[in-house]
Amino acid sequence: MSIQSTQFDSSAVPATVERVAETVLPTRHGTFRMIGYRDSGGTEHVALAQGIADDADGRTTGAPLVRVHSECLTGDAFGSRRCDCGEQLEAALAAIAEEGRGVVVYVRGHEGRGIGLLAKLKAYALQDQGVDTVDANTALGLPVDARRYDQAAEILQDLGIGAVRLLSGNPAKEEALEDLGIAVVERRNLPVPDRAENAGYLATKRERMRHDAPPVADAWESLLEGVAPAAPAPGEAEELTHRYGYLAQASGPLVVGQLRQSLDGFIASRSGDAGLHEDRGDHGHLQRLRALVDAVVVGASTVLAEDCSLAVEDVPGRSPVRVVLDAAARVGVAARVLADDGVPTLWIVSGDAIVPDGLPASVEVVRLPAEDFAPRRVLDILQARGLEKVLVEGGGNTVSRFLEAGVLDRLYLTTAPVLVGDGVSGIRFSGSDVLAEARTAPVRRFVFGLDICTEFNFAATR
């Protein structure tokens, strides 16, 4: 059953609003005019406005952004994730501040779609037992939606607004305002991601209350914003969410290692020829890892062998801060990791290493005692700079040192389908005489072209 319209006949009792107070409200989205109203039933409402009532007669030109926001104590004040109200309110204030123009009409008395706070909590209790939001109201003998919009319309009229671009996913709001004489020239959904906790509620709003379906969000863009889509589309979106969701959403320190080596465990030939990495099946995977971390760590030998830039290429995303571990300062000024390309670099060298003059301002030289290049120490330096998510990218020696020090939360060990026989080692560490002590952890396995990647989840073993 689809609920076709609000069930309250708003023409029955006019809700005359009276302007009672006006002040300013500085918020994290900038300063708003705040205008307080009381309706004839005694309910108090507020409007937060920027840049309106701009013509000589105090009328508002054009059609500003307007959010008619239904009071929701749990979502707006407590940040509840049962609904999306709090995030919609934030997004509306942000959108208005960005245009420098618009209004949020905050409608009190709309709590619980007009049934009140405690009735909403009772409805939540029923939903905890599996009833959806529509049937929960009905089971309580209450209307599915009892909201009226005449106060909001009157407030808009008081602010000289006759036409709006409405920030809402609810067509019933648009219809109600149109009926009350406000022209809705456009209606758009606020870009608020679905959360695992509110996915069911939002799905019911869409299926049974005519709310707009969300725009098909680009899963990768959401991951870059630190949100794993709750219901990614099957295919690539689902794969990326499954593979990188933990990394995108992590808050706090997280250290990921990656290394690509030949099937027999080498990263280059005896003479240092690293040609096996020119055409890597896991190229996209490496780029995505870089895009999701704050900093990427490499050893000097890798920089000397490959002159890599460590930048994010071929996928959307920001390049991480580069961290070059180079006790003897062997990397030359011409190296791409030291280039002035908009990406900061921490060049970690020993106390007495000689560093050339004329480094770009984007390169910070950090000096450590030569005997103190321990992975833990390096991570502390990064953390002190707010670089929490770290990718240890190479080479074999560096990744092995971080592995042996027990600081890797995950390791992506990728094997290329070649046998090198003898050469520069990939993962090597002191190990144990007892095979039962061999390093292991829960694993996931990914196929990237002809490469096979094994992800060790060491964090899960701690």
Ligand X SMILES: Nc1nc2c(ncn2[C@@H]2O[C@H](COP(=O)(O)OP(=O)(O)OP(=O)(O)O)[C@@H](O)[C@H]2O)c(=O)[nH]1
Query: What are the C-alpha distances in Å from 425 to residues 420, 428, 437, 450?
Result: 10, 7, 21, 21
| Window 74-93: contact mask with Zn ion (x via CB under 5 A) | -x-------x-x--------
Helices and strands, number each (H, E), in the chain: 12, 18
Query: What tokens appear for 46 in the block?
Result: 């507020």
Q: Is 452 helix (H, G, I), strand (E, B) or coil?
A: strand
Strands 410-416 and 389-394: unpaired
Interaction between residue 136 and Zn ion (CB under 5 A): no
Buried b / exposed e along 194-206 (16+ C-beta atoms within 10 A): bbeebebbbbbbe
> Nearest residue to ligand X, using CB?
168
Kindly state the smallest distance separating residue 214's Cβ from ligand X, in Å.
Answer: 11
- Do residues 325 and 378 make contact, with C-beta atoms less than 8 angstroms apart? yes
Q: How far is the CB of 76 from ligand X (least distance, A)?
A: 8
- Amino acid in position 277: H
Residue 122 is a binding residue for ligand X (CB under 6 A): no
123 sits near ligand X (criterion: CB under 6 A): yes
Q: Indicate whether 85 belongs to the interface with ligand X (CB under 6 A).
A: yes
How is residue 125 written in tokens? 């209790």
Q: Does 88 bind ligand X (CB under 6 A)?
A: yes
> Considering beta carbons, is residue 102 or 396 the nearer one to ligand X?
102
* Rounded least distance, CB 164 to ligand X, Å: 13
CA atoms of 434 and 100, how far apart (whole Å): 67
Residue 111's binding partner out of ligand X, Zn ion, none, with CB under 5 to 8 Å set by partner kind: ligand X
Binding track over 21-60 against Zn ion, x by CB under 5 A: ----------------------------------------
Site track for ligand X across 129-148, x = CB under 6 A = ----x---x-----------
Q: How far apart are CA 298 and CA 242, in angstroms?
A: 27
Q: Are strands 163-167 and 65-70 parallel, antiparallel or unpaired?
A: parallel
Structure tokens belonging to residue 325: 């571990």
Residue 287 is a binding residue for ligand X (CB under 6 A):
no
Residue 72 engages Zn ion in binding (rule: CB under 5 A):
yes
Which bin fits 405, alpha (ψ -120 to 50), beta or left (φ > 0)? alpha
Spatial separation of the C-alpha atoms in residues 294 and 319, rounded to whole Å: 8
Q: Other C-beta atoms within 10 Å of 177: how many? A: 23
Residue 97 is which amino acid? A
Total residues binding ligand X (CB under 6 A): 23
Quick one: 88 or 319, whose CB is closer to ligand X?
88
Interface with ligand X in residues 65-84 (CB under 6 A): 70-72, 83
Q: Looking at 113, 148, 285, 290, which residue binds ligand X (CB under 6 A)?
A: 113
Q: How far is the CB of 91 from ligand X (least distance, A)?
A: 10
Q: Does 111 bind ligand X (CB under 6 A)?
A: yes
Least separation in angstroms between CB 26 and ligand X = 25
C-alpha 266/C-alpha 123 separation (Å) is: 61
Closer to ligand X by CB, 71 or 282: give it: 71
Binding site for ligand X (CB under 6 A): 70-72, 83, 85, 88, 110-113, 115, 120, 123-124, 127, 133, 137, 168-170, 173, 201, 205
Binding site for Zn ion (CB under 5 A): 72, 75, 83, 85
